[in-house]
């Protein structure tokens, strides 16, 4: 009997030791997360948002999380495939444009409507709050780190755009179906393509101009390829695009609790604001490059902007009718989006 008790005690001690050892091993676990995105490393979001985010995560994890960065689609695929690369575990984290997959993020599209928002930081905070409240189901297949927008969208063209009439017939790049519909209403000929394709399309004459924010113009050499830029008086830009910074669910779930907390602490509003501010700062830098290059910057006056707003207003009507057919109250969502933008702009 004493031998049985001794063996039982030893077995219990062994189990405790094994549990403690496993816990200690888990606590020392180092994880490498592969992050994939479409732009060159010197572009605003990689340089001023993704890299700082990765460095912060690595520091707060005590070096136990390593972020391995892959820029400019180094791991293969195309920009429209990035969201699914995170969802499917091809990589661990991706950053991409939601509008590259038309019809998939129907509720989130509301932030792309013409003259919806201005400052990227405030708009990104509003978009994050909007998605958490009204569109979380569209991101159920990933661990969503954050969503965000860019700053005021504008035209960069070979010939000047000084009013609605001068836009007519121009082949202009659009980055989503909503923006392409808007370009059609305004009289342009939309040409859809991901942003990395803009440089070649401009240089080869495939397009006469492009809609992008100031921040991405330096990395795409746009101010060298065109000499005209058209902005809009007022707080809102012509349009904005929406972005998602997403993590594979399984990659997140297998992290120990303390490392999950590091990711969580760098998600949501914190990350949305980081990415939005990077966009705003990038807009200032991009515009300054155009000024120094001697390019012509035309700001349309409020009276002319009102003409554009009236012409583009049917884009929202089209969108409301389209999503209504999918059981979505688009008018309500547009109202909620504007209320959040106003809240975060205070």
User: Is-contact 39 220, C-beta < 8 A?
Assistant: no
Mean pLDDT of the region 282-289: 98
Residue 6 banded pLDDT, cuts 50, 70, 90: low
**Summary mean pLDDT of the chain:** 94
* pLDDT tens, residue by residue, 238-283: 999 999 999 999 999 999 999 999 999 999 999 999 999 999 999 9
User: Is-contact 248 91, C-beta < 8 A?
Assistant: yes
The answer to whether the 31-101+122-149+240-281 and 154-238+284-344 domains have the same CATH topology is yes
Report CA-CA distances (Å) from 231 to 20, 74, 275, 299. 62, 34, 22, 5
pLDDT the model gives residue 24: 47
Element (H, E) at 149: strand 143-149
Cα–Cα dist 223/226, whole Å: 5
The answer on pLDDT for 4 being more than 90 is no
In percent, how much of the chain has pLDDT > 90?
91
User: Is-contact 212 175, C-beta < 8 A?
Assistant: yes
To which residue do tokens 């910057």 refer?
297
30 three-state secondary structure: coil
Within its chain, how far is the Cα of 242 from the centroid? 5
Structure tokens at 323: 């999503």
The answer on pLDDT for 28 being more than 80 is no
The answer on pLDDT for 70 being more than 50 is yes
Count of CB atoms situated within 10 Å of the CB of 72: 15
Q: Half-sphere exposure (CA, 13 Å, Cβ side) for 4?
A: 1
* pLDDT tens, residue by residue, 176-202: 999 999 999 999 999 999 999 999 999
Structure tokens at 137: 């189901």
DSSP label at residue 221: T
The answer on pLDDT for 19 being more than 90 is no
DSSP label at residue 325: T
Q: Which residue has the higher pLDDT, 226 or 5?
A: 226
Mean pLDDT of the region 323-338: 98
- In terms of phi and psi (left: phi > 0; alpha: psi -120 to 50; beta: otherwise), the region of 221 is left
The answer on pLDDT for 14 being more than 80 is no
In percent, how much of the chain has pLDDT > 70?
92
The answer on pLDDT for 50 being more than 80 is yes
- In terms of phi and psi (left: phi > 0; alpha: psi -120 to 50; beta: otherwise), the region of 326 is alpha
Residues 6+ away with beta carbon under 8 Å from 313: 114
CATH number for the 154-238+284-344 domain, one of 3.90.950.20, 3.40.50.20, 1.10.3720.10, 3.40.190.170? 3.40.190.170
User: Is-contact 241 150, C-beta < 8 A?
Assistant: yes
25 three-state secondary structure: helix
Report CA-CA distances (Å) from 209 to 88, 191, 232. 35, 10, 16
Residue 153: closest CA among 129, 173, 130, 170:
173
Cα–Cα dist 90/306, whole Å: 46
The answer on pLDDT for 291 being more than 70 is yes
- pTM of the complete model: 0.91
The answer on pLDDT for 3 being more than 70 is no
Structure tokens at 284: 């200032």
The answer on pLDDT for 53 being more than 80 is yes
Strand partners, 190: 172
* pLDDT tens, residue by residue, 121-138: 999 999 999 999 999 999
Residue 29 banded pLDDT, cuts 50, 70, 90: confident
The answer on pLDDT for 2 being more than 80 is no
- Of the chain, the end-to-end C-alpha distance in Å amounts to 77
CA dihedral 148, 345, 270, 127 (to 10 degrees): -30
11 burial via Cβ count (<10 Å: 0-12, 13-18, 19+):
exposed
pLDDT the model gives residue 116: 97
The answer on pLDDT for 5 being more than 70 is no
CATH number for the 31-101+122-149+240-281 domain, one of 3.40.190.170, 3.40.50.2000, 3.40.190.80, 3.40.50.300? 3.40.190.170
DSSP label at residue 166: H
The answer on pLDDT for 10 being more than 90 is no
Residue 1 banded pLDDT, cuts 50, 70, 90: low
pLDDT the model gives residue 23: 47
Mean pLDDT of the region 2-22: 53
At residue 35, what are phi and psi to the nearest 5 degrees?
Answer: -115, 125
Cα–Cα dist 329/165, whole Å: 34
Residue 20 banded pLDDT, cuts 50, 70, 90: very low
Mean pLDDT of the region 56-73: 98
Domain boundaries defined on the chain: 31-101+122-149+240-281, 154-238+284-344
């Amino acid at each position: 009997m004493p031998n049985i008790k001794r063996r039982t005690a030893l077995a219990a001690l062994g189990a405790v030791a094994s549990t403690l050892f496993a816990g200690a091993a888990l606590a020392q676990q180092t994880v490498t997360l592969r992050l994939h995105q479409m732009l060159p490393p010197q572009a605003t979001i990689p340089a001023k948002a993704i890299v700082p985010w990765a460095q912060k995560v690595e520091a707060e994890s005590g070096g136990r999380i390593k972020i391995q960065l892959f820029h400019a689609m180094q791991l293969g695929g195309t920009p429209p495939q990035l969201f699914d690369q995170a969802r499917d575990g091809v990589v661990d984290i991706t950053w991409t444009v939601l509008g590259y997959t038309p019809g998939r993020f129907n509720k989130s599209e509301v932030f792309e409507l013409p003259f919806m928002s201005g400052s990227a930081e405030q708009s990104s905070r509003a978009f994050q709050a909007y998605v958490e409240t009204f569109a979380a189901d569209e991101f159920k297949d990933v661990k969503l780190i954050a969503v965000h927008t860019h700053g005021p969208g504008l035209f960069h063209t070979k010939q000047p755009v000084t009013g609605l009439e001068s836009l007519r017939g121009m082949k202009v790049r659009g980055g989503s179906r909503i923006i392409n519909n808007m370009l059609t209403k305004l009289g342009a000929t939309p040409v859809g393509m991901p942003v990395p394709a803009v440089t070649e399309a401009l240089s080869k004459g495939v397009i006469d101009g492009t809609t992008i924010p100031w921040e991405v113009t330096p990395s795409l050499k746009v101010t060298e390829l065109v000499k005209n830029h058209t902005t809009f008086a007022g707080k809102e830009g012509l349009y904005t695009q929406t972005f998602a910074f997403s993590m594979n669910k399984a990659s997140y779930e297998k992290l120990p609790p303390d490392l999950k907390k590091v990711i969580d602490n760098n998600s949501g509003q914190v990350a949305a604001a980081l990415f939005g501010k990077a966009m705003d700062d990038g807009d200032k830098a991009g515009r300054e490059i155009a000024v120094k290059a001697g390019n012509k910057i035309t700001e349309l006056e409020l009276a002319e902007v009102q003409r554009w707003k009236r012409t583009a207003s049917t884009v929202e009507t089209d969108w409301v009718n389209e999503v209504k057919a999918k059981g979505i109250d688009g008018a309500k969502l547009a109202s909620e989006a504007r209320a959040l933008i106003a809240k975060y702009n205070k």
